[in-house]
Structure formats: C-alpha cells, structure tokens
Chains A and B, each alone.
Chain A
C-alpha cells in the first residue's frame, strides 16, 4: 500500500478576510503525480503555495487547519527546512539571469550558505541535470548563462535547480503553460521519470495534461475540493456534476 507523504485536514487559507481555500482534506500518496485543476480563482495555486508555506509570505495571508509532511506538522517546522524538503517550480521559467547554468543548479546551496567541495558540486550539477533530462543538451555549455537556453530548457533547468536540493516533494505551478508543445512534451516526459524519486503536485489549467500525466486528480471550485480521485476514474466517470461540467467544457 502506498504511504501518504502530504496530508491536509480541514485546511483553510485566507487573504485578509477573503477565504480562498475552504476546509480542504486531502492525502497525497508518495511517488505519485497529483494534478490539481479548476477554473481561475478556485484556490488551486493558493493551496499549492500553502504546502511549502509560500502563502504566508504575502502580507495579510493566513492559514488554519492541519498540513503534514509524513507525520510532521508543516506549520510547526522551520519554513526554510520545509522548502528544502518541498521544492517548487513556477509557471514561467525563472533561472537566475546573471548565473551560469552550473551556478543556477547549485543556487539553492549557495543561497542557503551551504558550502560544498568542488567534486561534490560537480556531482550534484551533473546528477540534477541528468534527472532533469537536460545534461546531454548543456554539458558542453555549463558556464553559459541559463537565460540563453530555450523556454523548455530553462524550465528543465529550474526543475534541475529544485531537485538539486534533494526534496521529497516537488510542487509545480502550471510548469508548461509558457512552453510550446514540443517543450511541453519533454517536460511531461520528465515528470514521469521524476515520479520514481519524488512526489509531484502539479497545478494545471490544461485538462489533457492532467489526464496524461497524473495518477490522481483533485478538482477545486470556489475554494472547495469538489472531487479527488484516480485520474482515470475522474476522466471517465466523475462523481460530481460540477466536475463533469468542468472537464467536458460545459461550465457556466
């Protein structure tokens, strides 16, 4: 039986008085890809940002309820340590513009003041770029700026940067929405490979992407978790009428 890595129970998130995530209870199994989908403003990105405590960085943003990583309450842990264990990749590829590809990959170590031996650094850079399926494309240009890469390569570089820190969970907020179909396909392929070592939580607007890559899907609407089920079940026999209307494009 799959063990649960992230679990939230009656979890709520607010921007001031605005209640954006309402009483969400969800269990995310280890080494799975979980897609989170829903219309704009449904609270899916906010929920994702609550998992690694990015939400609280916004002034006036608060949370209540339980959010656990294994058995530890995430909101009782040091937020920096939470973000080391739960990495994040954003919608637009955002490599550090002044850093080389090599330095981008190990940026997490540098920014956290973690000193590494040269050989160790080389190993991490190569290993992370290999895992991000980017090594063969950049191994001869490691000291060029990351921003010279194509959009898809930059996004894979951001994934390499996130996994260089050896997180257990990777949160991806619409990671392919700014990419062309070829780059999207390569990132999706990569997600399948990453699943062996990490648990991935993917927010996506693209329903076909959710259907293609995820094991389970959560559908959010107006801040509530409407349905959470195996993706195959959700896309063939959704239980809630709102899910059916949304995935069949009949949402009014």
Chain B
C-alpha cells in the first residue's frame, strides 16, 4: 500500500467516525423528542463541539494530502468529495443541535396528537435512516445506494410541503398550543434540510465513484 493509499484510508476512517457521530446526534434527538428528555438534548448540544472539531481536523487532513501528495484522478475526486461531504455532515450536526435546543426550550412535552398529525416522528425516522443509508453507500462505494437517496428524500419533501397547512389547521383547533406547533414546524423544516444534505452527499459520492457531476441536474439525468 502506498503512503497516499494509507493516508486516504485513514481519512476515510475519520469521515466514517464523524458520520457515525452525526448519525448518533440525530438518533438522540429523536429519542429526546419522543421522551421529552432534556438531559439527552443537552448532551447533543455538548457533543456538537466535537463534531465541529472533527470537521476542522478532516479539512486540515485534506489540505495536507493535497499539499504533500498532489492527488489525481480517483484520489483527487475522493478528496474533493470528502471536503464537501465534511461540510454537509457538519451542517447535519448543526441541525441536530438546533432541534435539541428547541427540545430544551419547550416547557412541556410535545402533544402526542400534534406529533401524530404532522407525521414528524415518521419523518425523523426516515431522515435518520437516510443518513445511515448514505453512509453505507460511502463505506461500500456503492453509487446505486447513493442514487436511491434521491427518491427517499421525496418523502421528507412531501411532509414538509404539507406542514404549513397541517400546523395552521392544528393551531385553529388548538389555539392554546401555538408555540409548540410553531416549534414543531421548525423541526420539520430542519429535518427536510437533513434530506437536502444527504442528497448533496449522494451527489458527491457519485462524483467520486463515476466522475459524474449531478449538481443542478434534472431528476431524469440523475436516475
């Protein structure tokens, strides 16, 4: 194994470790939301600084490999993809932190009928699964799995599109619970962005594996 291979292997392990950390942040957020567990939410906020530190470390390691090894072809594409995936993961970490802060600030547990009508738990599950699935695509270098993310993200988009009306209807019938309904709308928006980040990551994995640029491509071209 060449030194560059070795460096790339270490970098990949680092990215996977960050990915797992971000995925765990999302999972903890779901648990905190379901159980109104403010301690768990505080833990998410604390761990976010580790996610940020990891992002900086991966950036630095990429810079070092660029400077020392002048990578080309598949190695160059891998590093360019990692730089962007790193940013997408960090933003996903920010989203998990944002949701955790909303849980901390909520005075009483979220009403179960509000959670049911908005399908937010279902959406949260799907967003977490997507992040897990796209990690599998990265680990196994599988562009078919990466492509499947584009379809799965539609479910998140769908719930997000209906969210305004659902929340407005809920507020009409439960005017005493406006604040909580608006917090939940904000959580739905954030989960939709988790899907967007996963889509961006999927595009980067396909760029790395197939040298195809899917950014701004139409759906048909992507599939």
Residues of B close to A250: CB separation below 8 A: 2, 5
The distance in angstroms between the C-alpha atoms of A82 and B77, with both chains bound, is 43
The distance in angstroms between the C-alpha atoms of A208 and B73, with both chains bound, is 12
Smallest CB separation, A227 vs chain B (Å):
11
Smallest CB separation, B70 vs chain A (Å):
6
Q: B73 touching A237 by the CB < 8 A rule?
A: yes
The distance in angstroms between the C-alpha atoms of A236 and B212, with both chains bound, is 11
Q: For chain B, give the interface size range.
A: 10 to 19
Contact with B along A201-232 (1 / 0, CB 8 A): 00000011001000000000000000000000
Main secondary structure of the interface of B (DSSP, over half): helix
A249-B76 contact in complex given A208-B70, A236-B211, A237-B211, C-beta closer than 8 Å = no
A235-B2 contact in complex given A208-B70, A248-B71, C-beta closer than 8 Å = no
> Nearest A residue to B75 by beta-carbon distance?
A248
Counting CB contacts under 8 A, is B139 at the interface?
no
Counting CB contacts under 8 A, is B10 at the interface?
no
Q: A248 touching B70 by the CB < 8 A rule?
A: no
> Nearest B residue to A208 by beta-carbon distance?
B70
Q: For chain A, give the interface size range.
A: 10 to 19
Residues of B close to A249: CB separation below 8 A: 2, 4
Q: A235 touching B76 by the CB < 8 A rule?
A: yes
Question: Which residues of chain B have a CB within 8 Å of any CB of chain A?
Answer: 2, 4-5, 70-77, 211
A-B contacts, 30 listed (Cβ < 8 Å): A207-B72, A208-B70, A211-B72, A235-B72, A235-B73, A235-B76, A236-B72, A236-B73, A236-B76, A236-B77, A236-B211, A237-B73, A237-B77, A237-B211, A238-B73, A243-B73, A244-B73, A244-B74, A247-B72, A247-B73, A248-B4, A248-B71, A248-B72, A248-B73, A248-B74, A248-B75, A249-B2, A249-B4, A250-B2, A250-B5
Question: Which residues of chain A have a CB within 8 Å of any CB of chain B?
Answer: 207-208, 211, 235-238, 243-244, 247-250
